Structure 1
Amino acid sequence: MTDDPYKTELIHHLLAIDTADAMDSALENLLTPAEYQEISKRLQIFKLLNEGVAHRKIAELLGVGIATVSRGSRALRDTH
Structure 2
Amino acid sequence: MELRIKEVIKEQGLTITELAEKMGINRVNLSNMVNGNPTVETLNKIADALGVPVTELFEQPKHDTAQLTCPHCGKPIEIGLK
Which TM-score applies when normalising by structure 2? 0.31
Which TM-score applies when normalising by structure 1? 0.31
Task: Specify which structure has the higher proportion of helix.
Answer: 1
